Amino acid sequence: MSKEIGLFEDAANVPAHLKGGELSDAAKALGGGGGSLKWISIKGSVFRMMVGDQEVATNEDRSMKLVIVGSAPGYARTYYADSYKEGVKAIPACWSDDGNAPSQNVSNPQSNLCASCPQNVKGSAEGGGRACKYSARLAVALEGDMGGDVYGLNIPATSIFGDVDSEHYLSLQEYVKKLASFGYDVVKVVTEMKFDTKSPVPKLMFRAVRPLTEAEWEQVKNQGSAEETKTHIGERKFERKEEDQGTPAAEPKAKPAPKTAKKAAPKAEPEESSDEEMAEPTKVSKKKEPEPEGADISDILDEWGDDEE
C-alpha cells in the first residue's frame, strides 16, 4: 500500500459519540473539504479511495468486499470529444444518465436518442469502437462498515457485459442475473469484486460471498435512502473549474449526419481508462442458468468456490 487504507477500514470502530455530524470549521479550514463525496476509483487496476478529486488512500489488494446499496437506473453513457490527456480532468461533451437519451444538462446533445446517435456507431472511436461508452453507476458500502460511509463506484462496460475467463467470477450483469435465478437480490449479499489480471485495461469480476445478516440488512436498507446514495446515483452535472487544465471540451454539432460518424474525434477517457469495444446490452448472451425454486445461496457459493486466483 502506498497510503494507509486502514483509515477507511477502521471507520466502524469510531466511537458512537464521535460519528456523524457536520465537519467542523477547523477541519474545513485545514482542507477537510466539507461536502466532498467519497468514491472508489479503479484507475490502473488499483482500488483508490477518493474524496472529491483527492486520492486519500490506495488498496493494492486484487479484491474488495462490499455491499451494493443502490444503482442508477439503466446504464449510463458518456462521450468525450477530446483525446485523453494524463492529468487533465476531461469534461464530457455529451452524456446520458439512463442510456436512453442525453441528460437535460447537456448543452449540445449529439442526438435526441442514444440508440440512433452517431457516437454509438461502431467505428466512431479511435481504434474502431464506439465513441460513447457505457458504465454502471453504483453506491456501495464496505463490508466492515455497512452503516458508515457510502462510496460511489463507476463500473466500465468491459466489467458489465464482458466475458470473464474464470470459473468462480462473473461480469456484473451475469452476476446479478445468477443471483436472481436463486431468489437473491444483489443488495442482500456481500459482493466480492476482483480485478481480472489478464485484462490490459481495468476490468472487474464479481461473486457472492455470503448473505447479509438481519442486522446488516437493516443497515443496508437505511443506506439505500441516504442522501449520499441519492447523489452518487442521481443526475450527473459536469462543471469546468478555473484550475482545470487543457482546452475546453469541443462543442459538438447537434445531430451530426450518420455518414460522418466514422470521422468523429477520438474520445477523452475518464480516470478508469479505455474500454474494449462492447456490444449493446441486449445482444449479450450466455448459457441460460437454471432457475431452481427456493435455492439456498450456499449452492452459489459452493459452485463459485473460495479459491483466490
Pull the grid cell for residue 296: 439456498
Domain extent for 44: 37-237+246-276
Evaluate whether residue 26 is within a structural domain.
Answer: no
Evaluate whether residue 183 is within a structural domain.
Answer: yes
Evaluate whether residue 95 is within a structural domain.
Answer: yes
Residue 251's pLDDT is what? Answer: 46
Evaluate whether residue 216 is within a structural domain.
Answer: yes
Phi/psi zone of residue 128: left (φ > 0), alpha (ψ -120 to 50 degrees), beta?
A: left
Evaluate whether residue 284 is within a structural domain.
Answer: no
Pull the grid cell for residue 218: 437493516
Tally of domains within the chain: 1
Q: What is the pTM of this model?
A: 0.71
Neighbours of 143 (CB within 10 A): 19
Evaluate whether residue 16 is within a structural domain.
Answer: no
Residue 7's pLDDT is what? Answer: 43
- Alpha-carbon distance 67 to 187, whole Å? 6
- Which residue positions in the chain have pLDDT lower than 50? 1-10, 28-29, 31-34, 242-277, 282-292, 307-309
Evaluate whether residue 306 is within a structural domain.
Answer: no
Residue 225's pLDDT is what? Answer: 93
Residue 125's pLDDT is what? Answer: 87
Kindly give, in sequence order, each residue whose CB lies less than 8 Å from that of residue 232, ignoring residues fewer than 6 positions away: 37, 39, 70, 137, 138, 139, 150, 151, 152
pLDDT digits (tens, 9 = 90+) for 188-233: 999 999 999 999 999 999 999 999 999 999 999 999 999 999 999 9
Evaluate whether residue 258 is within a structural domain.
Answer: yes
Residue 117's pLDDT is what? Answer: 96
What per-residue string of b and e applies to 260-284 under the rule 16 or more CB within 10 Å gives b?
Answer: ebeebbebbbbbbebbeebeeeeee
Residue 152's pLDDT is what? Answer: 97
Residue 210's pLDDT is what? Answer: 96
Kindly give, in sequence order, each residue whose CB lies less than 8 Å from that of residue 265, ignoring residues fewer than 6 positions away: 81, 82, 83, 131, 250
H/E element holding 132? strand 132-142
